[in-house]
Every structure is written in structure tokens, then in C-alpha cells.
A and B are shown apart, each in its own frame.
Chain A
């Protein structure tokens, strides 16, 4: 299939996106199941026990991919928002709306697993480390996006206003990260350094990458499912949705 042959602007119509999402969802869901099962098996059974941290370290197979996804999804969300504002394309803005809850979920998961891992390893649930703090603020930004989206009744305005917010946020995230890092280093030496990790065994890296890939596929599947719900909810008055109900 030649890429030039596809008329990409066809997908600026939600009516074209809806069936496409429907065809893609099972594939991504299956890939997600496959990768996550393999990743969890390797991570929980095949990977060797860490001589320092014991079995507690195994939570990183969820924690690190979740943290990666939380940041990646914010960029994806801002990308869809920028595309939607630039091209005035409604499906792009709907995609931004559909990505946000998954991103917030992964951010929360990263914070939660981080705390669960921190207690046995560092002896504390929480430290004001640069990464932890910026992850927390990332969660606030996701929630702000979702709340702004929900607070405005006019859908077009809600989409566009929250898109502006997502773009402002994506500029802000690196600034926050560096400001918190400087704040921490200027005050006191970082009590825990996560950059100087010991070299990991190859099986551990494999498990982590598989889990990250699985989370990625999961995010696509869930986002597309949510996208279909958003489309149905907003287009419920149109004739094509009504016809679907009959059949």
C-alpha cells in the first residue's frame, strides 16, 4: 500500500475515524496483552533477584514503563491538540481529549508504584526529588486539562481552550523539571540518586522494554475505544449514528 495514495484528510471527518478505530482496536489490544504477558513473565519469573533490593525491585517493571508513558502521552496529547488547533480538525482535538485520562492514569500509577517501591528501598514513601515532584505536577496538569474540558459546555470551545492549555503545559513541563532539579541541588545534595543505577541484567532490560511496548499498545487501544465513545456521544444527533442504532 502506497502512503501517498491515502487521502489523509478523509480522516478529518469523524464518520471516517469511527470505523477505522473499530478495526484497529482488537489488533492493538491483542498486541498489548501479548507484550504485557511476556514482559510480566520475564520480569516476575525469569529475571534474577537483585542482590541488594531483593524481590522488591520487580516493581520497576511496572513503574518505569508507566513513568515513560505518562510523559510520552502528555507530548502525544499536546501534539494532537496542536494539530487540531492548526488544521482546525475536530478528530484531532477529540483524540487529545481521549488520551488525557490514560495519561493521568499512568502518571498516578507511576507515583503509586514509586511510593510502594520507595518504602522498602529508601525507607520512605516520598522524597522531594526532582523526578517525583515533576511527575506530581504532571498529574496536576493532566487533571487541569480534564477539568477544563469538562467545565465548558460548548464542545468546540472546550476542545480549543483545553488544547491551548495542553500546549502551554508541554512548554512548562521541562521548565518545571529543571527548576525543581536546581532547587533540590542548590539546597541540599540529592539524598537519592536514580541516575547512577547499577548496570542491569539483559533479562531485566528485555522485560522493561516489553512492558513499555505493552503499555504503549494498551494506551492506543484504550484511547481509540474512548475516542469511539466521544464520537458517539457528540454525534448522537447525526443521521449516521442514528442509522447504526437501527441496524
Chain B
């Protein structure tokens, strides 16, 4: 197991998953469309008061990002599990952890990055100022990779299980709470003039923590699923 081989495997996995996503563009579009429609529902439900919308905007955008990330988690390993590719991947000499990191990274590019790019536009619907929009995108940029990493644990645990898509939601949403708090908190505190540094640092810390531990938990869960 040498380092260049590991990196090549990582690159191969990311490339393969991106290619697969590109071939099934509607899957990606569904996630983004879901994010847009959920955020657009809130003004309709709460009422068009600009003050109220500005207050709830960051939280709504973040919750919608959480939900759209969660929706696409079911696809992370399911197809590979069903056609037996996952079993072959577990058997390769490359460490399973690298594979997990690669798949989580590809998931983030497909499900997380579009949400980050779209968030300033949707933030305008809530009347957020330009500073808030910047912090919003930045917090999502730092937070959504963490969601992909933590989510991969739940996706691996529920592989091939009855009602797995609902179960993923129940397992993963409690684990997402810290990211939600720091992420939405960053936007709120920057809008109120406290400055977003503390929250953004905590988001970065969560990302590092998740990167250090989540792939191992996911790898263990995958081994349990295919054994």
C-alpha cells in the first residue's frame, strides 16, 4: 500500500462518481430543485413581512440545505451495494477509508456545492444583506462537507434496510444539529454585528473533526453491511 496508489484510488473513485452523476443529471437537479422549493415555501407559510423573513432566513436556508443533503444520502452507496461493486471495493488492497473519503467528496460536489452556489440567490428572497449573503455562502461552504461526511455513516448503516430512506433521516438529523447551529449562527451573528468568526471557526473545527473520525465509522459500517 503506497501513497501514490492510495491517491490514485481516491482520484479514481471521485472521478467515477462524478461521471456517474453526470450521466444521471436529473438526480443532481432534483436535489437542487428541492432546496429551492423548500426555501420558497417558507415565505408563503410565514407571510411576506420583510423583518420576519430576514430573521428566519439563515435558519430556513440552513435547514433546507440539511434536508436536501439528507435526501441524496440514500444514493451514496446504494447502487454500488446492489450491483456488488461495493463488495469488490471492500476487497481491494487500498484502504476502505480512502474510498469513503472519495465517495463523500464526490457526494459533496454533487449535492453540497450546488446548494452553496445557489444560496446567495435564494437568500435574496429573504432580504438578506450582501454581508449576510457572503457569510451564508461561506458557512455553507464550510458546513456542507461535514454533512456529507457525517451522512455517509448513516448511509452505510442503513444499506439495504427496510425503509432506509426514512431511517437515514432519523439517524442523521440529530447528528447534523451542531453544524446547523454553528452555520445558521454565523449568519445571524454577522447580521447583528457580533462577527461570524467564532461560528465559522467552530464550523471549520467540526469539518476537521468529521474528516478525522467519520470515514472510519463509515468504513466499519460498510464492512458490517457487506460481510
A interface vs B, CB < 8 Å?
Answer: 85, 137, 140-141, 143-144, 147-148, 151-153, 157, 160-161, 164-165, 167-169, 171-172, 175-176, 179-180, 182-183, 186-187
B189 and A144 contact, CB distance less than 8 A: no
Cross-interface CB contact of B185 among A85, A172, A183, cutoff 8 Å: A183
- Contact status A176-B177, CB under 8 Å: yes
Chain A, Cβ-Cβ closest to B175: A172
Q: Could you tell me the distance in whole angstroms from the C-beta of A185 to the nearest C-beta in chain B?
A: 11
Point out the residue from A153, A168, A175, A187 that lies within 8 Å of B178, measured CB to CB: A175
Contact A157 B174 (CB under 8 A): no
User: Given the interface contacts A144-B171, A148-B171, does A164 sit within 8 Å of B163 by beta carbon?
Assistant: no
Contact of A157 (CB < 8 Å), options: B175, B182, B225: B225
CB distance from B67 to the nearest CB of A (A): 16
Are A179 and B177 neighbours in the complex by a CB distance under 8 Å?
Answer: yes
- A180 / chain B contacts, CB cutoff of 8 Å: 177, 181
For A85, A157, A167, which residue has the most chain B Cβ atoms within 10 angstroms? A157
Chain A residues whose C-beta falls within 8 Å of the C-beta of B153 in the assembled complex: 164-165, 168
Q: How far is the CB of B184 from chain A (nearest CB, A)?
A: 9
CB distance from B189 to the nearest CB of A (A): 6
The binding surface of chain B is classed by DSSP as helix
Please give, as numbers and ranges, the residues of chain A lying within 8 Å of B221 by CB-CB distance. Answer: 161, 164
| Besides A148-B158, A187-B185, 7 new A-B residue pairs in contact (Cβ under 8 A), listed by A number | A164-B157, A164-B217, A165-B157, A165-B171, A172-B178, A175-B178, A186-B194
List B contacts of A167 (CB < 8 A).
Answer: 217
Chain A residues whose CB sits within 8 angstroms of the CB of B182 once the complex forms: 179
A151 with B162: in contact, given A165-B157, A172-B175 (CB under 8 Å)?
yes
Complex Cα gap A237–B44 (Å): 58
In this complex, the interface size class of chain B, counting residues with CB under 8 Å from chain A, is 20 to 34
Q: How far is the CA of A186 from the CA of B171 in the complex (A)?
A: 28
CB <8 Å contact, B224 and A160:
yes
A171: nearest chain-B partner, CB-CB: B213
Nearest CB of B to A153, in Å: 8
- Taking a contact as CB atoms closer than 8 A, the residue among A168, A183, A187 that contacts B217 in the complex is A168
Q: Across the interface, do B194 and A148 meet the contact criterion of CB distance under 8 Å?
A: no
Cβ of B189 and Cβ of A186 under 8 Å apart? Answer: yes
| B198 / chain A contacts, CB cutoff of 8 Å | 186
> Could you say which residues of chain B place their CB within 8 Å of the CB of A175?
178, 206
Subset of 24 A-B contacts with CB under 8 Å: A137-B177, A140-B170, A140-B173, A141-B174, A143-B170, A144-B170, A148-B167, A148-B171, A153-B162, A157-B225, A160-B224, A164-B220, A164-B221, A165-B153, A165-B157, A167-B217, A172-B174, A176-B177, A179-B202, A180-B177, A183-B185, A186-B194, A186-B198, A187-B188
How distant is the Cα of A151 from the Cα of B178 in the complex, in angstroms?
A: 26
Q: Is B20 an interface residue (CB 8 A)?
A: no
How many whole Å from A142's CB to the nearest CB in chain B?
A: 10
Q: Which residues of chain A come closer than 8 Å to B51, judged between CB atoms?
A: none
Choose from A137, A148, A171 the contact partner of B174 (Cβ within 8 Å).
A137
Q: Evaluate contact between B161 and A152: CB separation under 8 angstroms.
A: yes
Q: Which of B153, B174, B206 has the most CB of A within 10 A?
A: B174
Partner of A144, one of B163, B174, B206, B225: B174
- Distance A48 CA – B188 CA, assembled complex (angstroms): 46
Q: Which residues of A contact B206 (CB under 8 A)?
A: 175
Q: Across the interface, which residues of B come within 8 angstroms of A140, CB to CB?
A: 170, 173-174
